[in-house]
Amino acid sequence: MAIPDDIIERVRLSSDIVSVVREYLPDLKRAGRNWKACCPFHNEKTPSFMVSPEKSIFRCFGCGAAGDVFKFVMLTENLSWIESVKKLAKKAGIEIKETNEDVVKVSEKTKLFEILESSAKFYHRHLLESPLAKTARQYLEKRGINQETVKKFQLGYAPRGLLIQSALKKGYTSEDLSKAGVITKTERGTFFEYMSERVVFPIFDVQGRVIAFGGRTLTDQNPKYLNTPETIVYSKSSNLYGLFQTLPELRKERKIIVLEGYMDVVIPHQFGISGAVASLGTSFTHNHAKLIARYADSVTLLFDADDAGRTATQRALEILVEDGIQCSVSSLPEGVDADEYLNEKGKEEFLKLVEKSSKSAIDFMIERLSAAIKRNVPETKAKAVSALLDFAARSGNSIVQREWIKSISQSVNVDEEAVWREFKKKQHFKKGSYGVEKSIDVPLKESRRSLSLEEKLLKVILFDKNLMKLLSDDVFEDARCAKVYGLMVSGAGDADILNALGKEDADWFSALTMDETEYDNAEESLRVILKDVETAKLKRKRQVLEKEILLMTEGKIANDGKKIAEYKKLTILLKGSGK
Ligand SMILES: [Zn+2]
């Protein structure tokens, strides 16, 4: 659901950022135009977290966190943006109504859910009853899947062409089916049903609604597994296969095992192993991690023991570590799938293996780099250590980091202190990278890079927006300055601008606008900078002409009297300005 812009603005206006922040940070104190406190998003002893009541934004000069009042509540309370708006709206007594557009969207979604639900039922019924599904039933039996599991996961079979017929009869259009992701139009204008002649694994969201399908071929057809595409109700990076079915157990155990495929999930469920889920044919994302954090306190990764599996494991670990989720890695013997192992050896053996092979995230990384470490070539070793330290830096927890650095130094047989020095060095250069900032005691100050003329200009008009009228539309040539100026001209406030920029630009912009420079006479400062900007422009123009005139004197191009005259004029002008 989207909230209308005017309502968001009303909520923002009614939620004074200083009062809201002060509820969370009672130590917030006035410091000049801004308010200051120790940052809630990283560890520090000297306050570098600032709130500007005028601009209605906050910024931490230590870790770079910045945003408006909604973002602050979002970050501190771990809410989505919409939840944060709703929370502040409730507090301000503002009622949030869905816009008409949303009503249309909601009803469209409802329709897609209906189609997906009835498709799942259709496939399921065919698997259970249809003579066409004989091979599919044999396949599942061969993989050791029993009837109870077929029902629990609503497994199905898609006989060629029949779903479309049945859906059209029910009054859905081919466009509806296509929006639900069940079919797609081919170049020849015919329809292709994704699941056609495949064993079907319906994908459920945490509310138990069917949102998509995965299908396994029964022939040699490629690909072996095929998923229906993303739709307005299905995003593969925000869903995990099997999560819905294991929710009751997760409430008791809060432990998740992430495996690779559909079968790897279905079979453990059948054996009464709780918490088995799989990411859906996509690499692990922060959205997955967030989803996991809602239902579990720890995660075990159990991917295939091949190269692709190890790479996927590392990627997933990086994300889980960054998001502060406790994680470990277990492994199966090479070439063996989880479902095979379970069918062959049973639950107890499987659990024993998972436990026995369990490694911490850092031990997994050390093992992954062990070849380089063992070679005993200093440079190779240093490279390996560097990769391990990068990994350790992803954790926002200094106790975890401390332990990991101990492990690293032991594994490479290098003095712990030397490893620490390397780590500190890295952190120094890594300002703003995910996770790092949280562990540093002393905030890394904004680099003292001097501002460009255009940045100085922008800073003055951010200080006093009335001065904007003194500028011409094309005054900014630098792309991000021009972008911010464009937004300002269209009436955007600092918070809107911040929200409209990407992370890096937002970081840059918030530092610029929260700068504490006081101008005695902002207009005068503006005029001085403008003059410099103008001079710089003329200088660049003169440089271009100079090159051309050089070519003219060398006889390489024809003389151009106009250009020569302009060059002379510019030279006199620039002398006159004293530059
Ligand atoms: Zn901070």
Dist. CA 312 → ligand 1 center (Å)? 31
pLDDT in the model for residue 445: 37
Average pLDDT value for residue range 236-261: 90
* pLDDT tens-digit map of 366-402: 999 998 888 878 888 888 999 999 999 888 888 899 9
Dist. CA 438 → ligand 1 center (Å)? 7
Dist. CA 92 → ligand 1 center (Å)? 27
In one-letter notation, the amino acid at residue 415 is D
Dist. CA 39 → ligand 1 center (Å)? 4
Provide the mean pLDDT of the chain. Answer: 87
CA distance 131 to 396: 57
Dist. CA 63 → ligand 1 center (Å)? 4
| Non-local CB neighbours of 118 within 8 Å, separated by 6+ positions | 167, 170
**Model-level pTM?**
0.60
pLDDT in the model for residue 448: 47
Dist. CA 387 → ligand 1 center (Å)? 25
What does each C-alpha distance from 129 to 38, 126, 168, 269, 318 come to in angstroms?
Answer: 65, 5, 22, 24, 45
pLDDT in the model for residue 434: 36
* pLDDT tens-digit map of 21-77: 999 999 999 888 889 999 998 888 889 999 998 888 999 988 888 999 999 999 888
- Give the confidence band of 576 by pLDDT, cuts at 50, 70, 90: low
Dist. CA 554 → ligand 1 center (Å)? 59
Dist. CA 393 → ligand 1 center (Å)? 16
* pLDDT tens-digit map of 179-202: 999 999 888 888 999 999 999 999
Q: Give the residue with greater pLDDT, 573 vs 107.
A: 573
- Give the confidence band of 449 by pLDDT, cuts at 50, 70, 90: low
Beta strands at 66-67 and 298-301: parallel, antiparallel or unpaired = unpaired
| Non-local CB neighbours of 86 within 8 Å, separated by 6+ positions | 3, 96
pLDDT in the model for residue 444: 35
Dist. CA 391 → ligand 1 center (Å)? 21
Dist. CA 42 → ligand 1 center (Å)? 5
Q: Is the pLDDT of residue 236 over 60?
A: yes
Q: Is the pLDDT of residue 550 over 60?
A: yes
pLDDT in the model for residue 206: 85
DSSP letter for 180, please. T
pLDDT in the model for residue 80: 84
Q: Is the pLDDT of residue 538 over 80?
A: yes
Dist. CA 530 → ligand 1 center (Å)? 34
Dist. CA 24 → ligand 1 center (Å)? 14
Determine which helix (DSSP H) or strand (DSSP E) holds 458, and give its type and residue range.
helix 453-463
Q: Give the residue with greater pLDDT, 117 vs 559.
A: 117
The residue with tokens 């996770």 is: 435
Tokens of 300: 């075990």
Dist. CA 315 → ligand 1 center (Å)? 26
pLDDT in the model for residue 102: 58
Q: Is the pLDDT of residue 492 over 90?
A: no
Tokens of 201: 């694994």
Q: Give the residue with greater pLDDT, 191 vs 104.
A: 191
For helices 479-489 and 503-513, angle between their N-to-C axes, nearest 10 degrees: 70
Dist. CA 361 → ligand 1 center (Å)? 26
pLDDT in the model for residue 179: 94
Q: Is the pLDDT of residue 429 over 60?
A: no
* Among the listed residues 280, 266, 247, the one whose alpha carbon sits nearest the alpha carbon of residue 338: 266
Dist. CA 503 → ligand 1 center (Å)? 15
Q: Is the pLDDT of residue 551 over 60?
A: yes
Dist. CA 311 → ligand 1 center (Å)? 32
Tokens of 230: 């993303």
Dist. CA 32 → ligand 1 center (Å)? 19
pLDDT in the model for residue 579: 46
Contact assessment for residue 146 and residue 270, using Cβ atoms and an 8 Å cutoff: yes
- Give the confidence band of 104 by pLDDT, cuts at 50, 70, 90: low
Q: Give the residue with greater pLDDT, 96 vs 445.
A: 96
Dist. CA 442 → ligand 1 center (Å)? 10
CA distance 368 to 376: 16
Q: Is the pLDDT of residue 357 over 60?
A: yes
pLDDT in the model for residue 63: 85
- Give the confidence band of 299 by pLDDT, cuts at 50, 70, 90: very high
Dist. CA 68 → ligand 1 center (Å)? 15
Dist. CA 491 → ligand 1 center (Å)? 29
Dist. CA 60 → ligand 1 center (Å)? 5
Q: Is the pLDDT of residue 424 over 50?
A: yes
Dist. CA 514 → ligand 1 center (Å)? 14
- Give the confidence band of 1 by pLDDT, cuts at 50, 70, 90: low
Beta strands at 183-185 and 191-193: parallel, antiparallel or unpaired = antiparallel
pLDDT in the model for residue 51: 95
Give the least confident one: 163-172, 246-255, 408-417: 246-255
Dist. CA 83 → ligand 1 center (Å)? 23
pLDDT in the model for residue 441: 31
Dist. CA 199 → ligand 1 center (Å)? 50
Dist. CA 30 → ligand 1 center (Å)? 18
pLDDT in the model for residue 173: 92
